[in-house]
Structure 1
Amino acid sequence: MINVYSWPTPNGHKVHIMLEECGQKLGRDWQVHPIDIGAGEQFSPEFLRISPNNKIPALVDSQGPDGRPIALFESGAILIYLAAKFGKLLPKTDRQKFEVLQWLMFQVGGVGPMLGQAHHFRVYAPEKIEYAINRYTNEAKRLYGVMNERLKTSPYLGGRSYSIADIAVFPWLRSWQNQGIDWADYPELKAWFDRIAARPAVQRGVAVLADARKPLTDDKAREALFGQQQYGKKR
């Protein structure tokens, strides 16, 4: 059994989608354990033993590569692990594999952090800082432009076939309005987005824990996500 410790965020959705795309059925092949990041559950000692960076998602596979349990954190690493475990969504040849992995790294190092900052300063920050809003909104638009150009010459971000690169990026674009994006400026990317959104496994993946998510409007949730609790000593 694969146990996933997660919450309905873009990084959580990556893993939910990947498992469903690999033919793993929730409740039969994998279980989800909600980690309410607005309530500070990511700081519990039990979760920190799996994810020392106090971020979701994390995974524990009772049947790891050598038949023993393995615990993993970092969504990009989890996608690569699941691709290897199930032999899906990551090409076998070196040339095609590295083409996919560069776009996975593009998401991990660029799309996630920069769009996350756009969300923060446009929506969640307690004060509106024009410089920060402009900086991260412009960076969001730049990244959307990079992907739009890629998709002019490739059906998928990683090449000819749907892969973990597409799975990694898609959830982050579902909040395009919060990022200051007008889809009319990125027609190729919008067409790709709609194709991915129509996949049954993607729809099942983004539905996982969807009912648990709530607006981050109270002070306790903001403190857990953005306050000093992030920087305290972890036990």
Structure 2
Amino acid sequence: MSDLSAFPITSKWPAQNPEIIQVYSLPTPNGVKVTIALEELGLPYEAHMVSFGTNEQKSPEFVSLNPNGRIPAIIDPNGPDGQPIGIFESGAVLVYLAEKTGKLMAREGAARYATLQWLMFQMGGVGPMFGQFGHFYKFAADKVANNSYPTDRYRDETKRLLGVLEGQLSKHQWLAGNDYSIADIATFPWVRGLSIFYKADEVLELKNYPAVMAWLERALARPAVQKGWPAPA
């Protein structure tokens, strides 16, 4: 029986089955990356909901696993050398899971770096910029009603990044080429959020990115995506 008592987070979110991966998350674009990847990889996991409504991501127990106070984070009881390991930052978790299983990212060569570069594109560009656009467009619209600069800036950058995705996906089925990878898992939830969550179809003119929209539909049709999206419920 694995002993996870060294991780204080388990005192707030006890593991029902400490032999499987523990996920601390919420169904946000960042949060669903991990559960979708776990479903794709067929790895058993236990999902714990971290409530933003009560700022649980800032609780001492959660911060003990992720000092940055952001979801998602995991504990794998069967980490390197058979020892438990905790990992935070969604990109790092995706790389860890891909390397653990040898799936969703090539082990070596050019294909590996193709996946990594598009993963970094999401982490450094798509996530932060789409998030800032959504903040000013949906949540802070009243605060910038007399100053359109923040909304315009992030709208234009979001459209530019969509254009980069369009260019790649007009030539390839998936972001890193012919194979579905952690780069796709990291990115498509953010694209979906532009429409589903931010309701920004028109202002972003999403119809002008047909290859991106077709890629999004391919991703959403995957059974593992449909299983992993709502976790933790």
TM-score normalized by the length of structure 2: 0.86
Q: Which residue of 1 aligns with 2:171?
A: 153
Alignment partner of 1:14 out of 22, 26, 33: 33
SS at match of 1:153: coil
CA contact (8 A) 2:65 2:73 kept: yes
Matching of residue 46 in structure 1 with residue 61 in structure 2: yes
Is 2:23 the counterpart of 1:4? yes
How far has the Cα of 1:199 moved from its partner?
0.3
Task: Give the partner amino acid of 1:121.
Answer: F
- 1:223 counterpart residue number: none
| 1:170 paired residue number | 188
Identify the residue that residue 215 of structure 1 maps to in structure 2: none
Match of 2:222 among 196, 199, 203: 199
2:61, 2:25 → 1: CA distance? 14
Q: Which has the higher contact order (CA 8 A, sep 6+)?
A: 1
Structure 1 gaps, min length 5 = 211-235
Distance 2:128 2:206 in 1: 20
Q: Which has the higher helix share?
A: 1
- Residues 23 and 48, structure 2, Cα contact 8 Å, conserved in 1: yes
Contact 2:134 2:194 in 1 (8 A): no
State how far apart, in whole Å, the 2-side matches of 1:135 and 1:98 are: 30
Deviation at 1:170, TM superposition (A): 0.8
Shift of 1:109: 0.2
Q: Matches of residues 80-99 of structure 1 in structure 2 within 5 Å?
A: 80-99=95-114
1:142 to 156, 160, 178: 160
Post-superposition Cα deviations, 1:187-212, rounded to whole Å, max 9, x if no partner, equal 111111110010000111112235xx
Letter in 2 for 1:8: P
| Structure 1 residue 93: Cα displacement | 2.9
* Residue number among 101, 120, 143 corresponding to 1:127 in the alignment: 143
> Cα offset for 1:31?
0.4
Aligned residues: 206
- Which runs of no fewer than 5 residues in structure 2 stay unpaired? 1-19
Q: In structure 2, what is the Cα distance between the partners aligned to 1:9 and 1:138?
A: 23
Report the equivalent of 1:231: none
What secondary structure is seen at the aligned counterpart in 1 of 2:92? helix
Instruction: Report the identity percentage.
Output: 50
SS at match of 1:147: helix
Distance 1:8 1:199 in 2: 17
Deviation per CA, 1:22-78, whole angstroms, max 9, x where unpaired? 012xxxx21011111231101111111100000000000011011111000000000
Give every structure 1 segment of 4 or more consecutive aligned residues whose post-TM-superposition deviation is greater than 3 Å.
none
- Secondary structure in 2 aligned to 1:207? coil
Letter in 2 for 1:199: R
Report the Cα distance in structure 2 between the residues aligned to 1:155 and 1:169, rounded to whole angstroms.
14
Q: TM-score, normalised by structure 1?
A: 0.85
Q: Counterparts of 1:91 and 1:160 in 2: how far apart (Å)?
A: 12
Q: Give the aligned partner of residue 35 of structure 1.
A: 50
What is the RMSD computed on CA atoms of the aligned residues? 1.1
> In terms of mean alpha carbon deviation, does 169-178 or 2-11 score higher?
169-178
SS of aligned partner of 2:75: strand
Partner of 2:92: 77
Inter-partner Cα distance in structure 2 for 1:44 and 1:187? 42
